[in-house]
Amino acid sequence: MHVTGKQVREKVKALGEIIDQYDLMRKEEGKKRDWRTYEEKLARRIRNGMMQLGPLIEEAIENLHVERG
């Protein structure tokens, strides 16, 4: 299965939306920070991000072709 330029652009757009959501969450947290809660939320956000990116990474790996010269 080949990945088209359109599919890549859609994934990049989705990543942009994820970053926007992250920025909004950071602004909502305010200046005072409970570090334990912050670290738990950060770990959850990273875990969710990796789960969303996982299929894309797997597909990219499957489409790699290595040729020896």
On whether residue 50 sits in a domain, the answer given is yes
1's tokens: 């299965």
Task: Count Cβ atoms below 10 Å from residue 38 Cβ, excluding itself.
Answer: 12
15's tokens: 């990543």
As for how many domains the chain has, the answer is: 1
For residue range 32-64, list pLDDT tens digits in order: 777 888 899 999 999 998 888 888 888 888 888
On whether residue 69 sits in a domain, the answer given is no
On whether residue 9 sits in a domain, the answer given is yes
pLDDT at residue 26 greater than cutoff 80:
no
The percent of residues above 70 in pLDDT, for the chain, comes to: 94
> In which domain, by residue range, is 34 found?
5-62
d(CA 53, CA 69): 32
